[in-house]
Amino acid sequence: MHKLSDFFRCVNYYAGESGRDLRNLDGSPLTDNDRQRLFIAEINEIYVSPLLIPKLVLVKEAFRAHNIGLVIKDGFRSLELYKMIIEMRRRKGQQVEGIISTDRFPHATGLAVDVTLFDLSTGKDIWNRDEVKDGEGSRFLNFYQSATDEIGRNFHRIQILMQEIFGRSDMVAGQLNEVWHWELSGINEKTPRC
């Protein structure tokens, strides 16, 4: 496994089990946007299979050509961590089905990443959905394909660009079709390879 922060801008979070006192690893508080995104219990480092590194380097370069930066938010996740997250969500009465895979564990292969994008000039996040306004359905690709407003159309354009760029590296959205999750095409999800 390769530590991704050697190659990419990575964001690591620590969230206490209570979920209340959320902070970045350096102790700084999370922004509201970060809070909306966060559902992982604890991530100290982000790793992926070495197989994925050259593909992600190509992805990063392709986004750079559009003045877009790539942030890797999550990579390898052990089966134990998957189970812990699922258990924790169930204990808190939070939704699990449709949110986290319970029958396939793509991150346990080391061949899947969760990403966000940012503007290389301003450093600001580039959003491809507005979950607060549009609800949980906006987590999934093509939600905005028939949007008529400029913001919705722009979200869709960014999603299309992501599909193109990841697709060139033989990466596809996962089974849940979440807009942030990209994995190597055809991975045997149930067999951790790390």
189 touches Zn ion by CB under 5 A: no
Cβ distance to Zn ion smaller for residue 156 or 181: 181
Cα–Cα distance measured from residue 110 to residue 55, given in angstroms and rounded to the nearest whole number = 13
Long-range contacts of 91-95 (CB under 8 A, 24+ apart): 92/19
181 touches Zn ion by CB under 5 A: yes
Contact pattern from residue 3 through residue 22 relative to Zn ion, giving x for each residue in contact according to CB under 5 A and a dash for the rest: --------------------
Cβ partners under 8 Å of residue 148, min gap 6:
none
Contact pattern from residue 107 through residue 136 relative to Zn ion, giving x for each residue in contact according to CB under 5 A and a dash for the rest: -------x----------------------
Cβ distance to Zn ion smaller for residue 114 or 189: 114
Cβ distance to Zn ion smaller for residue 144 or 180: 180
Residue list 12-71, contact with Zn ion (CB under 5 A): none
Cβ partners under 8 Å of residue 37, min gap 6:
73, 116
Cβ partners under 8 Å of residue 62, min gap 6:
165, 168
CB of 148 to Zn ion, least distance (A): 30
Q: What is the DSSP string of 97-113?
A: TTTS-SS--GGGGT-EE
Residue number closest to Zn ion, CB atom: 181
Cβ distance to Zn ion smaller for residue 2 or 77: 77
Is residue 171 within 8 A of residue 55, CB to CB? The reply is yes
CB atoms within 10 A of CB 158: 19
Alpha helix positions (H), the chain: 32-37, 53-64, 79-91, 131-134, 150-168
CB of 149 to Zn ion, least distance (A): 28
139 touches Zn ion by CB under 5 A: no
CB of 111 to Zn ion, least distance (A): 11
Cβ distance to Zn ion smaller for residue 152 or 173: 173
User: What residue ranges bind Zn ion (CB under 5 A)?
Assistant: 114, 181
